[in-house]
Structure 1
Amino acid sequence: MTAVDFEAFVDELATVSGTAIMPFFRTALGVEDKSGGGAFDPVTEADKAAEAAIRHRIRATFPSHGVMGEEFGSERLDAEFVWVLDPIDGTKTFIAGMPGWGTLIGLLRNGQPCYGMMHQPFTRERFSGDGGSAKYRGPGGERALRTRSCAGLADAVLYTTTPRLMQEPERRIFSTVEEKVKLSRYGGDCYAYCMLAAGFIDLVIESNLQPYDIVALIPIVEGAGGTITTWDGGPAQAGGRIVAAGDPRIHAAALSLLQAG
């Protein structure tokens, strides 16, 4: 069975999760802080309802598959196929009523990302990829996703969710890249990676990511022609410090600065 066999099923999961989430968006929803006294780390009933709905559908359809999710933990991680779920990537954005969040549905096969989707049910957009190609579907129709050419950092548009999520040494290293780009903007969460795949921005740099923050985005970025690794150039699926670029020249330039720091 190949990744493409799962495309219709992932669409179904996206629809189910969106149905669970949308009644809570821009409402007076309850927010729980799961940080345990550290930096504010919110979770809402929308997060829980969406992940529960996705897990129920996976168990009913593929009972032998593993699942890793932000809200309800992991099971059968040694399975050939493991689903990696973030029901609302960008919960802080969600509770602020802004649209730059999304549901991440990723699939690992033998530990390697093979399919991913980012679904934004409010804007009715879906970004998906299998590592070899990527596509967009939304109110304007369907089209292939391709990253854009960018020769150097001086021409690049850079995104990060916020440098405040980085440790102080990481912020200093990040600033060495930020100082060299044409435009730096904050926000976006998972949406920034999809805009990179769509050819609107050139570079995303983040740290402290979990697998469920990034697994679904890897096949989208790579399928659109981009590169996504850790800051030291390793595989990205375990999370940590991540750099994604639309052009390999930008990726190499960013890595050089990130590693020099």
Structure 2
Amino acid sequence: MTPVALDTFVHQLATMSGEAILPFFRTTLGVEDKSHGRAFDPVTEADRAAEQVMRRLIQQHFPDHGIIGEEFDDQSTDATYVWALDPIDGTKSFICGMPAWGTLIGLLKEGVPVYGMMHQPFIKERFFGDGASAFYRGPAGDRRLTTRPCARIEDAILFTTSPLLMNEPDRACFRKAEERVRLSRYGGDCYAYCMVAAGLADVVIETGLKDHDIVALVPVIEGAGGIVTTWEGQSPAKGGRVVAAGSKAVHAAALEILNGG
């Protein structure tokens, strides 16, 4: 798979999935709860329709590739190339009519995230990268993404989807980091990571992520000059507790705080 072919194909996946999703947005669509009695975990027909479209295209063009998805069973996860798909990251925002959601399309090579895109079809924005560079395409024009050189966590803008999603010990660690930053904001899901890549925020701290929640975002942030790891400083490719930062200084400070420093 050449870089040009990969870029073209991912944009095709984004376009097709967006066409499947938009007829459902801001309508009275049905919502199921996948939580089985735990915290509310919604899924809609838009999620399923978009993932089915992407899976069909991948199987048609790259039948030897594996797929990890949000709504359907994983397949061929031991393949050299494995796609990680989250058709609507931010489903809770989606069902409320808020535009802070996006489609995540990621590609792993031998377990390492090598390409990713966040597509927001309603706003018509795309954030994409290959770990070496990252780009924005949307109403504001096309441009290269670059994180900002925030030198101190005290000057940082922090995002998390919600502290209520964390267990009590992790929430206590998060609060310590939150007390140190200049500004903290909740919500955003995948959009928060893209704001780090765009140089508009500085750090995202999350827990309980699945692989399909983060794989696509790693090459975008790294391509913009940032860093993404687990709280332990390891690869975030399998999800878990994740820290994404625009600068090494803020990332190191966040890890120190989260690990009791």
Q: Distance in 2 between matches of 1:36 and 1:229?
A: 30
How far the C-alpha of 1:2 sits from its partner, in A, is 4.3
Contact in 2 for aligned 1:4/1:130 (Cα 8 Å):
no
How far the C-alpha of 1:60 sits from its partner, in A, is 0.8
Distance 1:4 1:175, change over 3 A: farther
In structure 2, the partner of 1:56 is 56
- SS of alignment partner, residue 52 of structure 2: helix
What are the residue-to-residue correspondences of 1:1-261 with 2, within 5 Å?
1-260=1-260
Q: Distance in 1 between matches of 2:216 and 2:115?
A: 7
Q: Distance in 2 between matches of 1:181 and 1:2?
A: 41
Q: Distance in 1 between matches of 2:69 and 2:259?
A: 31
Deviation digits for residues 5-61 of structure 1 (CA, Å, limit 9, x no counterpart)? 300000000000000000000000000001111110000000000000000111111
Q: Distance in 1 between matches of 2:140 and 2:200?
A: 16
Deviation digits for residues 117-171 of structure 1 (CA, Å, limit 9, x no counterpart)? 0000000000000000000000121000000011111110000000000001100
- SS of alignment partner, residue 201 of structure 1: coil
Q: Distance in 2 between matches of 1:208 and 1:180?
A: 23
- SS of alignment partner, residue 74 of structure 1: coil
Deviation digits for residues 80-107 of structure 1 (CA, Å, limit 9, x no counterpart)? 1100000000000100110110000000
Contact in 2 for aligned 1:3/1:115 (Cα 8 Å):
no
Instruction: Give structure 1 stretches of 5+ with no counterpart.
Output: none
Contact in 2 for aligned 1:161/1:186 (Cα 8 Å):
yes
Q: Distance in 2 between matches of 1:224 and 1:153?
A: 19
Aligned length: 261
- SS of alignment partner, residue 40 of structure 2: coil
Instruction: Give structure 2 stretches of 5+ with no counterpart.
Output: none
Q: Distance in 2 between matches of 1:78 and 1:206?
A: 27
How far the C-alpha of 1:193 sits from its partner, in A, is 0.3
- SS of alignment partner, residue 92 of structure 2: helix
Identity percentage of aligned residues: 64
TM-score normalized with structure 1 length: 0.99
- SS of alignment partner, residue 79 of structure 2: coil
TM-score normalized with structure 2 length: 0.99
Q: Distance in 1 between matches of 2:252 and 2:3?
A: 29
Q: Distance in 1 between matches of 2:3 and 2:167?
A: 36
- SS of alignment partner, residue 75 of structure 1: coil
Q: Distance in 1 between matches of 2:183 and 2:99?
A: 21
Deviation digits for residues 176-214 of structure 1 (CA, Å, limit 9, x no counterpart)? 000000000000000000000000000000000000000
Q: Distance in 2 between matches of 1:174 and 1:154?
A: 14
The CA RMSD measured in Å over matched residues stands at 0.8
Q: Distance in 2 between matches of 1:177 and 1:53?
A: 40
Q: Distance in 2 between matches of 1:61 and 1:87?
A: 19
